[in-house]
Amino acid sequence: MVRSFDVIVVGLGVMGSATAYHLARRGLRVLGLERFWPPHWLGSSHGRSRIIREAYYEHPTYVPLVRRAYELWAEVEAEAGRRLFLQTGGLTVGPPESELVQGSLLSARTHGVAHEVLTAAEVRARFPALHPDPEMVAVWEQRAGVLFPEMGVAALLGLARRHGAELKFGQEVTGWDADGSGVQVQTRMGTYRAERLVIAAGAWVTRLVPDLPVQVERQVIVWFEPRSNPQAFRPGHLPVFIVEHAPGKQFYGLPDLGEGIKIARHHDGELVDPDLVDREVREGEVESVRELLRRYVPAADGSVLTAAVCLYTNAPDHHFIVDFHPAHPEVLILSPCSGHGFKFGPAIGEIAADLVTVGRSRVDVSFFGLGRLGPSGGARL
């Protein structure tokens, strides 16, 4: 017997779990299908901590969205009774003319984000662990901080269930068919039907939408034990930070939350197949992070406590894809990653619920439409 639902959500990382939560809260019959057992460390929503920030260098369009995300994370925290966010302040550091600094300032000035511009000497005085190059400047924003991804996903899934969603783990979706009056979804364990389908499959999205123009990039994250002055790495002494160390090249770090200071390069990873990716972190990869550490965060150059692999799903322009399938209006594609999606999870989930229920969202998401990708975008799907 094929069971029917209003909406089926494929993939229960932060995007799928947030979508299931918002849809269930609106009283829809929701089925969430996840191939692994979330929260897990095989996709993109793991690694103990995520940066949330507002002076959004990628594009000013994101600022209203991240502001909504702050509100919704606070609501999820309250409803779940769990702390999911820690405010630490944040710095975007680089040469004054760099993409990172200029982009942060443009977003901050366009949307009135409270911020300060610090010189390198001021950064060193306030945050002794950080050693920016003398000619660098930093955009300081008080409200930036850390989100806890595994707890965030677990909270969203728990609330989705509490609002009546049915969530099935260990069920890989192997295919779907839209027939104009709904969508039939196949897994190895059974077949389900719904009026609408939301595909939030992260790095595996092209398994279900073959020609979507995204690529999967392997990322390495490393936690270091501070070599000296451990207090300087604790929240309150060290904010979340992003440094543009060469034109268009960034690395970032998060304070020591008890498991060491977390450091990683942003992009610069190899393109991979998410099912065949090497999940071992190689010595050379740790060394390439250490190089940056020695220069910009020297006292953190201690022993490696943990290292892990994670996956970015990149659109060609590193912006999100949130759009209906051009050939199947009952199917919504959610691929909001390119290495910066987590913070927006609950806001993207709300937008997805709007789009699925009323066909339009309260926030203008045309910026995330497939059409912008030209012939390689929707036309080919």
Ligand X SMILES: Cc1cc2nc3c(=O)[nH]c(=O)nc-3n(C[C@H](O)[C@H](O)[C@H](O)COP(=O)(O)OP(=O)(O)OC[C@H]3O[C@@H](n4cnc5c(N)ncnc54)[C@H](O)[C@@H]3O)c2cc1C
Q: Which is nearer to ligand X, 62 or 374 (CB)?
A: 62
Q: Is residue 339 close enough to count as binding ligand X by CB under 6 A? A: yes
Beta carbons of 317 and 373 less than 8 angstroms apart: yes
- In residues, how long is the chain? 381
Distance, in Å, from the CA atom of 142 to the CA atom of 88, rounded to the nearest integer, reads 7
**Under rule CB under 6 A, residue 95 binds ligand X:** no
CB 125 within 8 A of CB 237: no
Q: For residue 135, how many other CB atoms are within 10 A of its CB?
A: 10
Of positions 48, 245, 328, 343, contacts ligand X by CB under 6 A: 343
In angstroms, the CA 355 to CA 371 distance is 17
d(CA 341, CA 91): 19
Binding positions for ligand X, 207-246, rule CB under 6 A: 207-208, 219, 221
Q: Measure the N-to-C terminal CA separation of the chain; round to a whole number of Å.
A: 31
Q: Is 325 in the site for ligand X (CB under 6 A)?
A: no
Q: Which residue has the tokens 């190089």?
A: 291
**Nearest CB to ligand X, comparing residues 227 and 279:** 279
The window from 33-41, 114-122, 127-135, 322-330 that contacts ligand X (CB under 6 A) reads 33-41
* Site map (CB under 6 A) of ligand X, residues 44-83, x = contact: xx-x--xx--------------------------------
CB of 316 to ligand X, least distance (A): 16
Q: Which is nearer to ligand X, 140 or 342 (CB)?
A: 342
CB 159 within 8 A of CB 75: no
ω into residue 375 within 30 of 0, thus cis?
no
- Identify which of residues 42 and 130 has a Cβ nearer to ligand X in the complex: 42
Comparing CB distances to ligand X, the nearer of 136 and 157 is 157
Please state the closest distance from residue 17 (CB atom) to ligand X, in A. 7
Element (DSSP H or E) covering residue 183: strand 183-187
Task: Check residue 341 for interaction with ligand X (CB under 6 A).
Answer: yes
204 vs 324, which CB is nearer to ligand X? Answer: 204
Place of tokens 């939350």: 257
Residues in contact with ligand X by the rule CB under 6 A: 10-16, 33-36, 38, 43-45, 47, 50-51, 172-173, 200-204, 207-208, 219, 221, 264, 310-312, 337, 339-343
